[in-house]
Amino acid sequence: MGLDRPQAWLLGLPTAAVYGSLALFTTILHNVFLLYYVDTFVSVYKINKMAFWVGETVFLLWNSLNDPLFGWLSDRQFLSSQHRPCGEELLVGSEETDSITLGQYLRQLARHRNFLWFVSMDLVQVFHCHFNSNFFPLFLEHLLSDHISLSTGSILLGLSYVAPHLNNLYFLSLCRRWGVYAVVRGLFLLKLGLSLLMLLAGPDHLSLLCLFIASNRVFTEGTCKLLTLVVTDLVDEDLVLNHRKQAASALLFGMVALVTKPGQTFAPLLGTWLLCFYTEKQRPKASSEKRRE
């Protein structure tokens, strides 16, 4: 009886509230891990960099393959029994029920130019997003630790994760008005403009540096969230181009993940290599200065 009441209460909640709560707590858990796991392994446990790279490679393989695998398991039932226009193989005007293998689906997807352009861009975007997430604390520590307090760094860190979700509420209204592609293109141009401004100003302008570090992460994270809307357009386009009876949404999302999720692994791999390279490069300088003293 004690377990029935909470279960009945949960079943009585609105679907949107349950889904939103699940997304909230999943995002919190994911972001905490994403933010601190590189810093924990590199700075706290100080594990061997080769061991870290091996672990990231294993993660790369599973993280890239599980989405298309589950997508194929979800969509193969209707793909194996869909009606294909026989104008491609038989007489025009008749239809034949033919199964589509995964290889045939991949060949169809390889002819989808918008899909190929999108995943190429999204790979770079996912890399940028996760590079910012993995090394944001290290950026604050090495670039601004001598100039800002610990509480200010914590505020910047918190805002970098809260602001993208708040911004997306505004970005979605802009998407309804101007379209997703115009908003994403505008965010890209805004990030490019801020990068050029920071390059010209140099690292001595601390307020501008704080603004750049925070805004770069906020706009990058916000753009990654909006790109899901582009994938839904690709699902509809694939439905029309290949005359499907039903959209292969799960499989196409999985194929996007297959190409773009390696960016999640390349980001910490490249970042840790850069850290090792620059720290080892600075060690001889520090030791020589100590000897002079």
Per-residue pLDDT, 252: 92
Per-residue pLDDT, 256: 93
pTM over the 0.75 mark = no
Is pLDDT at 260 greater than 60 in this prediction?
Answer: yes
Q: What is the per-residue pLDDT across 150-167, written as a single tens digit (0 to 9) for each?
A: 777 777 777 777 777 788
Cβ-proximal residues to 161 (8 Å cutoff; 6+ apart), any chain:
31, 35, 221
Query: Structural domain boundaries of the chain?
Result: 42-275
Is pLDDT at 187 greater than 80 in this prediction?
Answer: yes
Over residues 73-88, the mean pLDDT reads 64
Per-residue pLDDT, 122: 92
Q: What is the per-residue pLDDT across 191-215, written as a single tens digit (0 to 9) for each?
A: 899 889 988 888 777 778 778 877 8
Q: What is the per-residue pLDDT across 108-146, written as a single tens digit (0 to 9) for each?
A: 999 999 999 999 999 999 998 888 877 777 777 766 667
* In CATH, 42-275 is 1.20.1250: yes
- Confidence band of 287 (pLDDT split at 50, 70, 90): very low
Residue of 289, 290, 214, 223 lying closest to 260 (CA atoms): 223
Is pLDDT at 101 greater than 50 in this prediction?
Answer: yes
Do residues 258 and 68 make contact, with C-beta atoms less than 8 angstroms apart?
yes
- Confidence band of 43 (pLDDT split at 50, 70, 90): confident
Q: What is the per-residue pLDDT across 45-62, written as a single tens digit (0 to 9) for each?
A: 777 777 877 887 888 888
Per-residue pLDDT, 289: 47
Regarding predicted confidence, which is higher, 8 or 225? 225
Do residues 166 and 177 make contact, with C-beta atoms less than 8 angstroms apart?
no
DSSP string, 164-229: HHHHHHHHHHHHHHH-HHHHHHHHHHHHHHHHHHHHHH-TT-HHHHHHHHHHHHHHHHHHHHHHHH
Per-residue pLDDT, 97: 47
Over residues 255-261, the mean pLDDT reads 90
Over residues 64-79, the mean pLDDT reads 82
